[in-house]
Structure 1
């Protein structure tokens, strides 16, 4: 496993702590034989030489934008075998204006339903809910989530729009509430993988803060997902 290269691309909205969150996983990558490079701009994706020698992209860029050249470069690299991995808004709420990026990832944040209006303190906790991450039958057999039991988090619960080309390893269910307008429970993917050409994509929607990423279940899933997505020599 020695000699592989990981590229961390981070930035966008500061509320997802892109620096602190990605720094949590740098020692893990190094311990697993990766030379780690960090970029604060996604324009690195347009550098074909850099991308060709990159085995894993760890992206933590919430919202923001991406140039045509950069998204083309990212898509080409993944199709050729570069892995793409990330968590929460750093990968599932990136580059809302790029349909090519959304197609690559296969799932997009739509909202995170909030608490009852009478229980909202007026900050980011307005959207913190107790919810369960449920491992699917596929997830119980998959190397990323095997041995991980269903678990409960108190944080943002992502409602995700997605397609059928993803392999869902875990889900979360948004219940009906008298203060929400939908009429039946909605199941969203919470952890998924995607095969794209010769490359692999890994997404985990938990990860709003470093504290959530430090949850043993979440951290295990993310660490395994990074290794799974990386190009295999």
Structure 2
């Protein structure tokens, strides 16, 4: 059985919508009948990592109450180190949309991701995503209504495979790399349920699952 632990949803992002997008992508995997998804809260994450899942998906920003001052965060020093150790020892991590947002730049988690969310223009915009040559969706680009994430990325130490462009400019939108014995992937689409269920967003997410879980699928 291939085990996935998923941390979804925060003040700005709906957990049920992310769950729908995640499960739609997993449903397209050839090994879907052998995949078990466990949804966890940030309070349950430490124990979930102790169980050594094949993949951890983070789609939750760090701030628990971003509209308040001070804002409280969930990524403790202990959890930060635990996530780094998990990947170094062979675990796979997907930082999906909000999973890139609000974390301390100096944290081990962000250093491991080689990138982080910087800002996005207010509201939803038409965003065109441009694929790396060889990505298999049938199109080399697609457009959805989305929050266009502008990111900071150490692109020299990762493989960028997705870009975004919109009225406010251009940014990177996806990248992946090895980390210790594990794998790390960052993917910025999408913010809404409609965006997450878009066939191209879903297909690219499925491809990332295949890459992250390749070792688990092959035994």
Instruction: State the TM-score, normalized to the length of structure 1.
Output: 0.76
Q: Unaligned stretches of 5+ in structure 1?
A: 115-126, 177-185
Give per-residue Cα distances to partners, 1:20-66, cap 9 Å, x unaligned.
3124423626825212211111552366631xx31001112123230
For the pair 1:38 / 2:39, whether they are aligned, the reply is yes
For residues 212 and 48 of structure 2, what CA distance do their matches in structure 1 show? 21
Partner of 1:8: 6
What RMSD over aligned residues (CA atoms) do the two structures have, in Å?
Answer: 2.4
Partner of 1:173: 165
Partner of 2:67: none
Compared CA separation, residues 32 and 168, structure 1 to 2 (3 A): farther
CA contact (8 A) 1:46 1:70 kept: no
Partner of 1:129: 125
- Give matches, 1:1-233, under 5 Å: 3-13=1-11, 15-26=12-23, 28=26, 31-41=32-42, 44-45=45-46, 49-50=50-51, 53-64=52-63, 65=73, 66-89=75-98, 91-96=99-104, 99-114=107-122, 127-135=123-131, 139-141=132-134, 145=136, 147-164=138-155, 165-173=157-165, 187-230=170-213, 232=215, 233=219
Partner of 1:123: none
For residues 137 and 145 of structure 2, what CA distance do their matches in structure 1 show? 23
Deviation, structure 1 residue 162: 0.9
Question: Which is higher, the Rg of structure 1 or of structure 2?
Answer: 1
**Which secondary structure state, in structure 1, belongs to the residue aligned with residue 60 of structure 2?**
strand
Compared CA separation, residues 18 and 76, structure 1 to 2 (3 A): same
CA contact (8 A) 1:60 1:87 kept: yes
**Which secondary structure state, in structure 2, belongs to the residue aligned with residue 85 of structure 1?**
strand
Instruction: State the TM-score, normalized to the length of structure 2.
Output: 0.80
**Which secondary structure state, in structure 2, belongs to the residue aligned with residue 219 of structure 1?**
helix
**Which secondary structure state, in structure 1, belongs to the residue aligned with residue 121 of structure 2?**
coil
Give per-residue Cα distances to partners, 1:157-215, cap 9 Å, x unaligned.
11101113121111123556xxxxxxxxx532112112111111122111111111011
CA contact (8 A) 1:81 1:198 kept: yes
